[in-house]
Amino acid sequence: MSALLTADWFQLDSYYRKFDIYNMSWAMDEGLDNMIVTGAPYGGPIAVVRDRKQFVRIATTTKPVITIYNCAGNVISKILWNSGVLVHMGWSDGEQLLCVQESGDVLIYDMFGAYQKTFNMGQEVRDTKVTKAQLFPNPFGVGLAVMTSTNRMFLLSNIAEPKIRPVPDLPRASEPITCWCVLSTGLRSSAIIGFLVCRDKEIYKCQLGESRAIPLRPEIRNPYTQILSIVPSQNGRHAALFTDSGFLWIGSSDFRNKYCETDTGYIKQPKELVWCGSQAVVAHWDDMLCVFGSKGQVEKFFYDGPFHIIPEMDCVRVISEMTHELIERVPVVIEKIFRIDSTAPGSYLVEASKQFQQDSAQHKAKTTQAWFGRQKIDFIRHEDWPSSSPNLNPLDFKIWQVLEGKVCAKPIKFGEPEVIFKKSSR
């Protein structure tokens, strides 16, 4: 039993597991290779659209189509995109699909493709055009952050009440930015929301309520010239950086504490870099998926075709052309019971249950057979009972029905069930 449960476990700083949820039944003409894939939180629907950066410019009137699938790859709805240039799309926590245009207009649809409403990120954003956007969870709901062609940054903390606010500009704002992300920390009463922006080797924190960008200086031991990717954990307490020398740096989000600095073996920027909970980082390169622990451990998985990663609050989903998988930290209570050489009480109980169910011993006990006969309860004799079938033991066959009949024979008042149960079990 425990061997089957732990077959998909792997160990980093703690135990994690990777397992299939669904076999996918995609109904698409093209594969996932040139697609943008985004999933609603909490295992919700998946939206797929062709990546405009991968388009081959030909004379055609074909418009992009956003297709919404369920978790098994079945089509829920389709949206023919007749609006402006689509920069980003993502989901709210209410399974609304948000489509951010280059003009700063944000169109909202439900999961069935029905248009809901539109809001705009302001006149300055409209004039300077959105180049990148990101949806992010925070104590106020789901927020939206955008960056314009002039490296100006704007955000709103709740899409349900869109109040656009600018954040401090970077020094030498016209110089190109290599990567950025949104950092949200604290509870609702003390929430801190801002941008983490990287320009070559420099890192700045551009925070709401501050008058200027704050430079940050993480301790990175190995030489590098650029930070290519930066991503915060879901709780905002940790951050991960990937440098152009191929090293992954993991530490606190204020960059005062370093947990590890790991050589990934890749110089190329990962296609996707996300956190799995708050103790592991998942990176995606071509046909390789790597899970890095906060102490430098790594587990690698190879894929035959393209795949995409969808981060969740405490896990990640991996969407490929064949399967829908989940990677998560093994819950502590399950780890205590089923890990090798566990001495937890629950582990002993599971082992005792296995031993008791060996060789159909419970089916053949003479005392059990005799008791059922005296009570005139219908049961299957041990000669006719299937062997090695712990789910079909005679105690479960009718004993609970008898016990329920005794306990519920008369109305039960608060505080009485324990007394009635003791009397009924005599």
Close Cβ partners of 276 (under 8 Å, ≥ 6 residues apart): 16, 282, 291, 311, 315, 316, 327, 328, 329
Q: Say if 231 falls within a structural domain.
A: no
326: three-class secondary structure by DSSP: strand
Q: Say if 404 falls within a structural domain.
A: yes
Dist. CA 145–CA 143, nearest whole Å: 7
End-to-end CA gap in the chain: 33
Q: Say if 390 falls within a structural domain.
A: yes
CA nearest neighbour of 49 among 72, 68, 26, 29: 68
Q: Say if 380 falls within a structural domain.
A: yes
**What's the pLDDT at 230?**
97
| Average pLDDT for the chain | 86
Number of domains observed in the structure of the chain: 1
Using the predicted structure, report yes or no on whether residue 38 has a pLDDT greater than 90.
Answer: yes
Question: What is the mean predicted confidence (pLDDT) over 387-403?
Answer: 56
**What's the pLDDT at 192?**
84
Question: What is the mean predicted confidence (pLDDT) over 201-210?
Answer: 92
Q: Which domain holds residue 386?
A: 365-424
In this predicted structure, which of 61-75, 145-159, 331-345, 396-410 has the lowest mean pLDDT?
Answer: 396-410
CA geometry: angle at 225 spanning 281 and 217, to 5°? 65
Read off the pLDDT band of 2 (50, 70, 90).
very low
**What's the pLDDT at 351?**
73
Q: Say if 58 falls within a structural domain.
A: no
Q: Say if 253 falls within a structural domain.
A: no
The residue among 104 and 407 whose pLDDT is bigger is: 104
Q: What is the CA radius of gyration of the chain?
A: 28
> How many Cα atoms occupy the beta-carbon half-sphere of 313 within 13 Å?
8
- In whole angstroms, how far apart are CA 238 and each of 144, 257, 292, 329? 20, 9, 14, 17
Whole-model pTM?
0.80
Q: Say if 402 falls within a structural domain.
A: yes
- Per residue in 170-195, pLDDT (tens digit) is 999 889 999 999 999 877 767 889 99
Q: Say if 148 falls within a structural domain.
A: no
Question: What is the mean predicted confidence (pLDDT) over 396-424?
Answer: 60
Using the predicted structure, report yes or no on whether residue 58 has a pLDDT greater than 60.
Answer: no
**What's the pLDDT at 1?**
40
Question: What is the mean predicted confidence (pLDDT) over 28-32?
Answer: 81
